[in-house]
A and B are shown apart, each in its own frame.
Chain A
Amino acid sequence: MIEGLGIPTVTVTMMPDLAQKFRLSRVVGVEFPFGHSFGTPHNDDLMLQVSRAAVQALSEAGEPGYRLDVVAEWPVPLEVAYKTWHPPKASPIVAQMLKRAQPQG
């Protein structure tokens, strides 16, 4: 939408497949948990690596559909990171879905 109004964009996302389905112009993929687009706190090397990829995308992309995936392993074990990005309390929509899934009676 922003792009359609005349401002070029680059999108850094944990879900590059989905971004491509929405036909975003320039996509940079990161295999990071939600809420952490650029890395872990104070990990300036990782933040700079992702940011450099975004700038590379802006330089290289010449047409829609460009995608660049960042090669970086999340520095927290998967079994921990898989759980800790979630909010401490279920969001309203999740709470509603869980309530509806409960057996009635």
Chain B
Amino acid sequence: MAVDSYKFLPRSMRAMYESMVAVEEPPVWTALTKPVERCSIALMTSAGVFLKDSQEGFDEEREWREPTWGDPTYRVIPRAVRQEQIGCSHLHINHTDLLEDLDVVLPFRAFTTLEAEGRIGRLADEAYSFMGYQDRRLEEWRTVQGPELVTRLKEQAVDVLLLAPA
């Protein structure tokens, strides 16, 4: 059974998304260079989580002033993070469940299990968080954050990035 992509959206938005035309650019594809059982996998969420004790939250004040703008920066979340360290600044979702259990958006426990089972090579030491309400053209991500993140992933010997839009 296929997932209903619009099940939890306000009814008025379903037609808008359903009528969207696919982008014309050809798909981008990078093949895995080794079996997934030997890959290092990093996790990334757009839930806007950050470390309360050492990182700034995402810029909500500017978004209130400029409602079509979204903070394009990202935060590094260590694999060994504790739940009580987690804050969230994302004005478009409810934070209650992820502040109770971060794994609803960054599944560290599940991937630790998959690592122990040998289904993946390893779970990377770092995960990444950004705030998902972004300029649709993603201009800053294309020119600044994207290349910076890829450099960081390569320095960390990460083979695959799991993206989880919140």
A91 and B133 contact, CB distance less than 8 A: yes
Nearest-neighbour CB distance to chain A for B2, whole angstroms, equals 6
CA distance A85 to B149 in the complex (A): 29
Q: Are B2 and A29 in contact (CB under 8 A)?
A: yes
A-B contact count (CB 8 A): 213
Name the interface residues of B83-112: CB closer than 8 Å to any CB of A: 90-98, 100-101, 103-105, 107, 109-111
Q: Is B80 an interface residue, CB under 8 A from the partner?
A: no
Q: Closest CB-CB distance, A54 to chain B, in whole Å?
A: 6
Asked whether B107 lies within 8 Å of A55 as measured between CB atoms, the reply is no
Instruction: Say which residue of B8, B103, B109 sits within 8 Å of A85 (CB atoms).
Output: B8
CB of A67 to closest CB in B, whole Å: 9
> What chain A residues lie within 8 Å of B2 (beta carbons)?
29, 69
* Residue B76 is within 8 A (CB to CB) of chain A in the complex: no
B165 interfacial by beta-carbon distance below 8 Å: yes
Across the interface, do A38 and B164 meet the contact criterion of CB distance under 8 Å?
Answer: yes
Instruction: Check: A96 CB closer than 8 A to any chain B CB.
Output: yes
- Contact call B68/A34, Cβ cutoff below 8 A: no
The reply to whether the CB of A59 lies closer than 8 angstroms to some CB of chain B is yes
A9: which of B20, B109, B111, B163 is its contact (CB, 8 Å)? B163
A69 cross-chain contacts in B, Cβ below 8 A: 1-3
Q: Do A18 and B160 form a contact, CB below 8 Å, given A23-B25, A91-B92?
A: no
Give residues in B with beta carbon < 8 Å to A. 1-8, 17-18, 20-23, 25-32, 35-36, 39, 41, 45, 47, 63-64, 67-68, 90-98, 100-101, 103-105, 107, 109-111, 113-114, 119-120, 133, 138, 141-142, 146-147, 149-150, 153-154, 158-166
- Give A contacts to B, CB under 8 Å: 1-18, 20-25, 29-42, 44, 47-48, 50-52, 54-55, 58-59, 63-65, 69-71, 78, 81-82, 84-89, 91-93, 95-96
Other contacts beyond A23-B27, A58-B32: 17, CB < 8 A: A1-B142, A6-B154, A7-B160, A21-B22, A23-B26, A34-B166, A37-B165, A41-B100, A47-B103, A48-B114, A52-B110, A52-B114, A58-B36, A58-B41, A58-B160, A92-B64, A92-B67
- Could you name 7 residue pairs across A and B whose Cβ atoms are closer than 8 Å? A7-B160, A8-B161, A17-B17, A23-B25, A25-B27, A34-B92, A82-B8
